[in-house]
Amino acid sequence: MKPKSIKVIVPATVSNVGPGFDIMGFAINTPIEEMVLRLIDKPGIKISRVTGDKNGLPLDIKKNTATVALKHMISMLNINLGIELEIRKKIISGSGLGSSAASAVAAPFALNELLGKPFSKHELMEFALLGEKIASGSIHADNVAPCLFGGFILIRGYNPTDIVQLSSPKNLYCTILHPQFEIKTSEARKLIKRNYSLKDVITQTGNAAGLVTGILKSDYKLIKRSLNDLIAEPARAKLIPGFYEIKNAAMESGAIGCSISGSGPAIFAFSTSEKDGRKIGSVMKKVSSKYFKKSNVYVSSINTDGPKVIG
Ligand code: HSE
């Protein structure tokens, strides 16, 4: 008999990665989110239980990224399904760590596995993007794509979504400082300027190209020179009290780059060993304690697996 329920895990993601606004993202190993999807007799989709971050997560199936993505998937399948979701939210909503993308990826991935993989990962990505759009008000794949494929992803273009998976540098570690407050991506996107000078476009393009090359060649010095952003970071830094002080402290402790993760408030910093990553994390936390009562620190290698079935 075919199983009627499945449990999956999906990774958190860091999007933008400095100069790659809307075009770069990567997956990390912690935090990881869990979802259980069950087939039930009564047709329709419902969320039966949420544990973890109950406050930030819309339970209305028209507003939840998981259920919206599932609805699009089911309409393509053209079958009448009854589905119940249990979400174990470990990636906090509004953290800048791809929480809405994780839900939007987990649900279609889980259903696809349960049904014997009728869709390719590229097709699942399109359902997940429609789910993600509900949360952020726009289509951007820089969380969804790395969450689904793992590793570093370059989004070469949209319409159609053209993604390129980059090989991940072996010794790259990511430290995350997550101050415990929420920034809504839809609001943070409104802060981004619409027009840039030619000089800024040249600088940003050079840095984005340098970052991709640095990642492909495991050239950490090139990654460090390239991790400068003229679009999202200057516009959003004011949303994170003490951001530049925390960033400077991370760089002085040996980080090879530091910026806002997605639309924040999480801040990421790169290093080349877990030990350095932990040292950078404790310095970032210490400096940030002047501004935030509560913050979490994660140190992780790059997640190259994407979602996994665990039960
Ligand atoms: N690229 C998106 C943004 C990611 O910065 O608005 C949001 O998580």
CATH numbers and ranges of domains, the chain: 5-166+304-309 (3.30.230.10), 173-301 (3.30.70.890)
Query: 13 an active-site residue?
Result: no
Number of other CB atoms surrounding residue 30 within 10 Å:
16
Query: What values do phi and psi take at 153, rounded to 5?
Result: -125, 135
Determine the pLDDT at residue 17: 98
Q: What is the pTM of this model?
A: 0.96
Determine the pLDDT at residue 3: 67
The angle at the Cα of 60, spanning 58 to 65, to the nearest 5 degrees, equals 60
Q: Who lines ligand 1 at CB under 6 A?
A: 15-16, 21-22, 140, 142-143, 185, 188-189, 232, 262-263
pLDDT digits (tens, 9 = 90+) for 3-19: 699 999 999 999 999 99
CA distance 199 to 189: 22
Residues of the chain with pLDDT under 50: none
The angle at the Cα of 245, spanning 24 to 251, to the nearest 5 degrees, equals 60
Determine the pLDDT at residue 207: 98
Please tell me the residue having the least CA distance from ligand 1 atom 7.
262
Determine the pLDDT at residue 54: 62
Determine the pLDDT at residue 11: 98
Please tell me the residue having the least CA distance from ligand 1 atom 4.
262
For ligand 1, what atom is nearest to the CA of residue 236?
Answer: 5
